[in-house]
């Protein structure tokens, strides 16, 4: 074990007095602090198996050392995160980057670290060695039925892996589209994709959900066949009750009002899951909350309002995942920062005075509405999030403990400085 539990307690004791002071200060102005803390304790964000190593761009990749060399080591890394913050209790696998070789031992390892298997992700955006047909011109949209069938079969294979592990959802992200005008017949591409998705949907176990993830551009730069929430919504609606739209924060055209998208998808019962990250320009896959924390808060504000309106369970009724890439930071430190940003935005959204906001909206009191939202956003909720961690035996200061215990150095010593993880 890299981090003995008593070391977490020892570190917490050092920070306890200061923490109590900060916590009591903010808790004094929260109406039902116990209920809020319970929601924070329950909220878990899945960690992507493809983001535990250093990411890269097409210009290069600068690995940092100690990266997980296998699925088992990736699970250990997520276990570490969970030990530190108790908000990372699930892993989302990408197939074929992370095919489990032995289901029972992987499940035992997950249980040992207190982890669940979140959505499984298929990959028809890369050709795999030995694959019969190429995805160069798309997968589910392809003009050739045999290519479409190969993509459908792969997705069914991914579901089978997920069933073995106890996963209950499949995320389909398609890079399908076109790079030049005239390359595709949009209608045929849509219909082929729909037909392929229908075949995958038919293979979905009864208790499973299917998430259709959209993305505006990249790798195709003229059109994308699931290019925006409207198209994803169309597929999901035609597929059936267990198909939903998945929102990845980096997959919109500049300045899109993501909070409004989220609100309407929730209203229609078609929001299924989330991929959190942050961006300045496109699908930058940066640390959550590092560029636009107010937007993140506004999204959570709509999530909380919309889920409450439908009587949904915040923790379990939507799929919460991170989808980021860590090019210059230590991936584990970056993930700790991302989870903290998500928890803070969620806590701030829980603090919004809903009654007062409705009254302000009904009175067209624009100034009051802004004050109510910004009052919540400007509250330093970090002591609330830390208190939720403390109560579950996790670290008051996860990042500081990660560094103090020299966890990366220990990982480098155990795994080597030249390891490269599969993934982005």
Which of these, 291, 348, 356, 355, lies nearest to 324 by C-alpha position? 291
CB of 213 to Mn ion, least distance (A): 6
Which position's Cβ is nearest ligand PSV?
173
Bridge partners (DSSP) of residue 211 are 171, 244
Long-range contacts of 132-136 (CB under 8 A, 24+ apart): 135/175
305 near Mn ion, judged by CB under 5 A:
no
418, 25 Cβ separation under 8 angstroms: no
CB-CB contact of 339 with 322 (8 Å)? yes
> Interface residues with ligand PSV (CB under 6 A)?
50, 121, 173, 213, 215, 248, 275, 283, 323, 424
* Closest C-alpha among 238, 214, 240, 239 to residue 227: 214
Angle between helices 407-415 and 331-351 (to 10 degrees): 140
Question: Could you tell me the smallest distance in angstroms from the CB atom of residue 52 to ligand PSV?
Answer: 13
Q: Does residue 248 bind Mn ion (CB under 5 A)?
A: yes
Q: Which does 215 bind (CB under 5 to 8 A by kind): ligand PSV, Mn ion, none?
A: ligand PSV
Between 8 and 197, CB nearer to ligand PSV: 197
Nearer to ligand PSV, 121 or 169 (CB): 121
The listed partner (Mn ion, ligand PSV, none) that binds 121, CB under 5 to 8 Å by sort, is ligand PSV
Residue 291 three-state SS:
coil
Asked if 94 interacts with Mn ion (CB under 5 A), we say: no
Does residue 219 have a cis peptide bond before it, meaning omega lies within 30 degrees of 0?
A: yes
Q: Which two tokens stand for residue 50?
A: 């493809």
Distance (Å, rounded) from C-alpha 332 to C-alpha 423? 15
Six token digits for residue 295: 């937007």
Smallest gap from Cβ 82 to ligand PSV, in A, equals 22
Q: C-alpha dihedral over 181, 182, 185, 189, to 10 degrees?
A: -50
Q: Which is nearer to Mn ion, 74 or 275 (CB)?
A: 275
User: Looking at beta carbons only, is 162 or 398 nearer to ligand PSV?
Assistant: 162
Q: Which of 154, 275, 314, 389 binds Mn ion (CB under 5 A)?
A: 275
Minimum distance, C-beta of residue 135 to ligand PSV, in the bound complex (Å): 14
In the complex, minimum distance from the CB of residue 368 to ligand PSV, in angstroms, rounded to a whole number: 38
Give, as ranges, the residues between 204 and 223 that touch Mn ion (CB under 5 A). none
- Residue 250 CB, nearest distance to ligand PSV (Å)? 7
Residue 243 near residue 236, CB atoms below 8 Å: yes
Stretch that binds Mn ion, among 200-208, 322-330, 336-344, 371-379 (CB under 5 A): 322-330
Which stretches of the chain bind Mn ion, using CB under 5 A?
248, 275, 323
């Amino acid at each position: 074990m890299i981090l003995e539990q008593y070391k977490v307690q020892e570190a917490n004791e050092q920070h306890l007095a200061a923490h109590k002071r900060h916590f009591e200060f903010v808790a004094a102005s929260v109406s039902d602090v116990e209920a809020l803390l319970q929601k924070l304790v329950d909220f878990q964000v899945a960690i992507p198996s493809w983001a535990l190593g250093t990411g890269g761009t097409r210009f290069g990749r600068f690995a940092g050392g100690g990266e997980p060399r296998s699925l088992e080591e990736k699970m250990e890394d997520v276990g570490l995160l969970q030990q530190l913050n108790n908000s990372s209790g699930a892993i989302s696998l990408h197939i074929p980057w992370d095919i489990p070789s032995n289901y029972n031992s992987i499940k035992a390892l997950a249980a040992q670290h207190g982890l669940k298997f979140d959505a499984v992700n298929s990959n028809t955006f890369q050709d795999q060695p030995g694959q019969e047909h190429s995805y160069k011109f798309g997968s589910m949209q392809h003009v050739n039925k045999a290519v479409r069938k190969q993509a459908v079969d792969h997705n069914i294979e991914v579901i089978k892996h997920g069933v073995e592990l106890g996963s209950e959802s499949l995320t389909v992200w398609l890079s399908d589209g076109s790079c030049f005008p005239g390359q595709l017949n949009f209608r045929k591409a849509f219909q082929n994709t729909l037909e392929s998705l229908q075949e995958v949907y038919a293979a979905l176990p009864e208790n499973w959900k299917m998430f259709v993830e959209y993305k505006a551009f990249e790798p195709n730069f003229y059109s994308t066949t699931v290019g925006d929430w409207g198209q994803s919504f169309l597929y999901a609606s035609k597929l059936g009750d267990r198909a939903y739209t998945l929102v990845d924060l980096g997959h919109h055209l500049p300045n899109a009002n993501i909070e409004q998208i989220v609100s309407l998808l929730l209203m229609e019962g078609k929001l299924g899951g989330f991929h959190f990250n942050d961006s300045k320009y496109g699908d930058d896959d940066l640390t959550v909350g590092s560029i636009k924390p107010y937007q993140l808060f506004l999204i959570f504000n709509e999530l909380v309002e919309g889920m409450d309106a439908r009587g949904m369970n915040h923790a379990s009724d939507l799929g919460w995942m991170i989808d980021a890439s860590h090019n210059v930071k230590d991936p584990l430190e970056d993930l700790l920062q991302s989870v903290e940003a998500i928890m803070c935005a969620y806590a701030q959204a829980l603090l919004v005075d809903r009654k007062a906001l409705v009254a302000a909206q009904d009175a067209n009191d624009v100034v009051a509405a802004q004050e109510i939202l910004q009052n919540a956003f400007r509250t330093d909720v970090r002591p609330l999030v830390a208190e939720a961690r403390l109560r579950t035996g996790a670290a008051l200061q996860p990042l500081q403990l990660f560094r103090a215990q020299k966890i990366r150095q220990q990982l480098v010593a155990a795994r080597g400085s030249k390891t490269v993880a599969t993934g982005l």
